[in-house]
Structure formats: structure tokens, C-alpha cells
Amino acid sequence: MMKAASAFASANSQHRYEALPTDVDGQQKTSSSCSSRRSPLRIIAVFALMTLLFSGVRHVSRTGLPRCVGGRMHRNLSSLPSHYTLPSGDKIPSIALGVWQAGRNEVGNAVKTALKAGYRHIDGAWIYRNEVEVGKALKDSGVPREDIWITSKLWNFFHAPEDIEPALDDSLTKLGTDYLDMYLIHWPLARKDGQPYDKALTENPYPTWQKLEEMVEKGKVRNIGVSNFNIRRQAKPFCKKKRFIHWNLCRLENLTANPLKIRPAVNQVEINYWVPQPELLQWAKEHDLLLQAYSPLGGNGKVGDTLAVPEIKEIAKELGMTPAQVVISWHIQRGTVVLPKSVTPSRVVENFQVQALPPPLFEKLEKAAISHEPYPRFNPSKNWGLDFDIFE
């Protein structure tokens, strides 16, 4: 802030000096009526101006800069990554518009609003059943295809190698593009022939993964990853490295133990204040796996509760941010891609306004998030008729 004040004063001084006439040698001329020494009144005036300016800087440093400049919101990227670099070298934007549960005749407008606000990452899936409308919005936005990161996901019905390319082609057609920037295995569950699940492909996703690698080689996909490969709080006998290394995590390890041509670039999971997943986050960082946080403001109807958390409200007030902006900033500062979902234009724009939280405030929120018992996450196991919990 002091640097800003100095630059401000310097700019005004330069402007003032440029207004003065100069002689041919570039030396400033002075009027005969002006003394070479500053008058006492001028000294007092300059001192008063600098005192006022310093007071203003102190006020801004305490309350935070306003998030709106000239009537238009501007994203503050200071100290927060705008992108992460994947093993392929591609740069994935750190914040995306999620379109899960975005209904017909509203998702398209949300996508166009997001792209106009500066988003360049749209996260969707075949099962969301809105890829046609998303694709039309992408085209109508006028933003070049190469400037937009598009993610879709392979649904449970299509894990068999022979089903993968037709499923991918269907998403490509609906989205109006000839390639995806990211394609994810949506859930660690394969279903086939009317059965609740295909046990062989569920326990060993390597054949599925090999076909995804082929899609990269064909140029239909640039990066591949997984989704919902979460961890649980009971260790299996074959996974005893430490208390919080769990079954689904070991299954990911089993996948990567194969002779993969391409390692998973990301794992997209539910992460929010109520399900902070610190163990998975730590493991992912140690193994160069980027996490993406869906339902970042809270799943299972917990958004309102999240925005009312005392620590979040206190940080928002201190920094001049909204509670949602604080939470989204926290996610990125933890090192994850964040996928906030909204179809309300004002909230779509609001969610893109992020800034780094000062370390003490970041630690305050992190401590609050990991200190409570995790809230039950979104879990479709019963609805799918499974005889086991997909997260166990």
C-alpha cells in the first residue's frame, strides 16, 4: 500500500513538473515573483496533503481495496494462481464454472455470463444432460475455442473399452468441438448389462484407462483423470502405511501401479468446509496429482450453513469480501482447482472475484475446517442399488 501511495505521489509530482515551462537546456524556469525557497504556507500545505494521503493508505490497508472499480468488477489475482500446469504441459484455469444441476434454458446463459466475466474453464459431464445447451453457449459467446478449457466425464455405463469412444464422440458432438481439454472417469464404478455394477472393471479400471490413453493419442482428448476416487476413514489390511491411507486411495495406487502411458492428471472430488479432505489433499500433493473441488461452497444443502460460519463471516468483513469469495479463495490457496456452480448472473460474476487471504486468516479458516467432524458428503450408493458404500 505504501508503494501505491508513493507511486501516486510521484505520478502527481511528475504531472505537476511537466506543466512547468522549461528552457532550451531542460532546466525548469522560475518566475521572478517566485522565491527559490518554499514559503511556509506551501510547506504546511504539502505536509497536510501527505498526512491526508497517509491516513487514506492506512484505511485502505485495514479495510481492503474495494472489489468494484468504475462500476465493473475486476478479478484480483495477486498471489493466487490463475492456472496450474499439468504433466502434459497444458495450463488448466484454477477456477471453473460447474454446470452440474444447471437446468435447461438457464445453463446456457450462465456459461455466457461466466465467459464474459473472464472464466475460461467450463466443467461438465455427459450425465448432466445439458451438453447441447452448453455447446451452443460456447459457440455464441464468441470466445475462441482454443481459449476455453472444456471438461467432460465418462459415465458409469461406458467403462467397457468398446463403449468409451462412442460415449466420448457423443459428448464432442453435443458440445460442438472436436476435442476435450480434460476427460475424467466420473465415478470408480462400472455398470453393465443391467447389473448394479461390473465387478471386474470396477476393481480393475486399467482396461478403461488404456482406452482413454488411446483417445489422447487420437487427439480427441488432451488430458485424462479420475473423479470421486475419495478416501475413507478405515484402513484395509493391504493398505497399512498409515492410518489415513484407505481403500479408494489404494485403488488409485493400484491403477497407477500399472504400466501407464499417461498418469491421471487430476482427481475431482467433493471438497468444502464440511468435507475438507486434508489427508487426500496431502497425498495428492506428494504424488503430483491435482485435486479439483466440486460443491466447494457445500454439498447436501449446506451452502447457507457455510456462508454463515463465524470465521468465514469475520474474514469476509475484515477483507471487504463476500463469504463466498472467501471460501473460493481458500480453495485455490490450498492448491486445488475450484468449481463453483451457479446460474444466477450476479453470483457467477461474484464467484470469480478472488484474492489471496493473508496467512493468519487462511490458517484461521483452515483450522476451523479441519477441526470439526466431516459432514456426510453426496453419496449415490443407495440410489444406485449398490450393496456397498462407494466411498468405502
Q: Which of 277, 248, 300 is nearest to 366 (CA)?
A: 277
Domains of the chain: 1-8+37-63 (no CATH), 76-371 (3.20.20.100)
DSSP 165-197: HHHHHHHHHHHT-S-BSEEEE-SS----TTSS-
d(CA 133, CA 171): 12
Give the dihedral of Cα atoms 352, 95, 348, 180; nearest 10 deg: 140
Which 8-state DSSP code applies to residue 221?
B
Phi, psi of 185 (to 5 degrees): -70, 115
- Grid cell for residue 254: 493400484
Active site residue 128: yes
pTM above 0.85, yes or no: no
Taking CA 152 as the corner, what is the angle to CA 146 and CA 154, rounded to the nearest 5 degrees?
145
d(CA 267, CA 225): 6
- Identity (one letter) of the amino acid at 87? P
Sign of the C-alpha dihedral, residues 280, 286, 289, 294? positive
First vs last C-alpha separation in the chain? 50
Q: Check: CB of residue 5 under 8 Å from CB of residue 61.
A: no
Question: From the candidates 17, 84, 119, 128, which is the catalytic residue?
Answer: 128
Q: Which of 134, 182, 136, 145 is nearest to 290 (CA)?
A: 182
Q: How far is CA 82 from the centre of its chain?
A: 9
Please report the pLDDT score of residue 59 as a whole number: 36
* β partners of residue 114: none
Q: How far is CA 321 from the centre of its chain?
A: 17
- Grid cell for residue 119: 472464466
d(CA 337, CA 354): 13
Q: Which of 294, 279, 299, 305 is nearest to 338 (CA)?
A: 294
Q: Which of 283, 272, 267 is nearest to 227 (CA)?
A: 267
Helical H segments across the chain, by residue range: 2-18, 40-63, 107-117, 131-141, 161-175, 199-203, 206-217, 247-256, 278-286, 303-307, 310-319, 323-334, 345-350, 359-371
Nearest-Å Rg of the Cα atoms of the chain is 27
- Grid cell for residue 368: 476451523
- Identity (one letter) of the amino acid at 301? G
Q: What are the pLDDT tens digits along the chain (392 aa)?
A: 333 333 323 333 322 222 222 222 233 333 333 333 344 445 444 444 444 444 443 333 333 333 332 223 334 445 799 999 999 999 999 999 999 877 778 999 999 999 999 999 999 999 999 999 999 999 999 999 999 999 999 999 999 999 999 999 999 999 999 999 999 999 999 997 677 788 889 888 999 999 999 999 999 999 999 999 875 444 444 444 433 333 445 667 777 888 999 999 999 999 999 999 999 999 899 889 999 999 999 987 899 999 999 999 999 999 999 999 999 999 999 999 999 999 999 999 999 999 999 999 999 999 999 999 878 888 888 888 888 878 77
d(CA 29, CA 112): 57
Q: Which of 379, 377, 388, 382 is nearest to 199 (CA)?
A: 388
d(CA 24, CA 39): 28
Phi, psi of 360 (to 5 degrees): -60, -35
Angle of helix 131-141 versus helix 107-117 axis, rounded to 10: 40
